[in-house]
Amino acid sequence: MTSGLRKAHKYIWLLMAIAIPVLILFSIKDLDVSSSEIVSNRFEASKNNVLKVAENELIKASLRSKSIEVILKSTLKNPSSILYALDSNGNKDAVIGHITSSGIYNFEIEDQPKGILLYDGLKEEIITKLILKWD
């Protein structure tokens, strides 16, 4: 390797060492995975004000005044599962949050959804759909 190639090699690696972390930060800044929380103390106090409960073989959803609790009964085969709110036509309306493994998830919501949809974003397929009839 000549001195010119060594110099170019050094600058390219320095540039990559700076550019790659910056690109990673820009790519993950818009992900909304921080809104899901495993059961915490502030949601434990609100267990008594459940408005409606609906479930199927995979998930159970409990609606509260400003939050929704989703219990995933078994581990999913899909690592990139996104929970969507459904509108009155049964179409995806808004992202509620990200679900990874079995457990209890609490999400803050503004409006009461007509249903929820568990969707695999990578394979672009519906995992399960739960139509909710809130009173």
Residues 65 and 104 in one domain: yes
Q: Is residue 36 pLDDT above 50, yes or no? A: no
The one-letter amino acid code at 16 reads M
Model pTM? 0.61
Residue 116, Cβ density class (10 Å: 0-12 exposed, 13-18 middle, ≥19 buried):
buried
Residues 110 and 47 in one domain: yes
In the prediction, which pLDDT does 38 show? Answer: 46
Residue 114 belongs to domain spanning: 37-131
Residues 76 and 58 in one domain: yes
Mean pLDDT across 2-16: 94
Residues 70 and 10 in one domain: no
**pLDDT, tens digit, 9 for 90 and up, residues 54-90:** 888 888 888 887 888 888 888 888 777 889 988 888 8
pLDDT, the chain, mean = 81
Residues 24 and 9 in one domain: yes
**Coil, strand, or helix at residue 113?**
coil
Residues 96 and 65 in one domain: yes
Residue of 35, 83, 40 lying closest to 58 (CA atoms): 83
Residue 119, Cβ density class (10 Å: 0-12 exposed, 13-18 middle, ≥19 buried):
buried
Residues 104 and 127 in one domain: yes
Give how many domains the chain has, as a whole number.
Answer: 2
In the prediction, which pLDDT does 44 show? Answer: 53
Q: Residue 123's domain is classified under what CATH number?
A: 2.60.40
In the prediction, which pLDDT does 32 show? Answer: 64
Q: What percent of the chain has pLDDT over 90?
A: 16
Residues 42 and 106 in one domain: yes
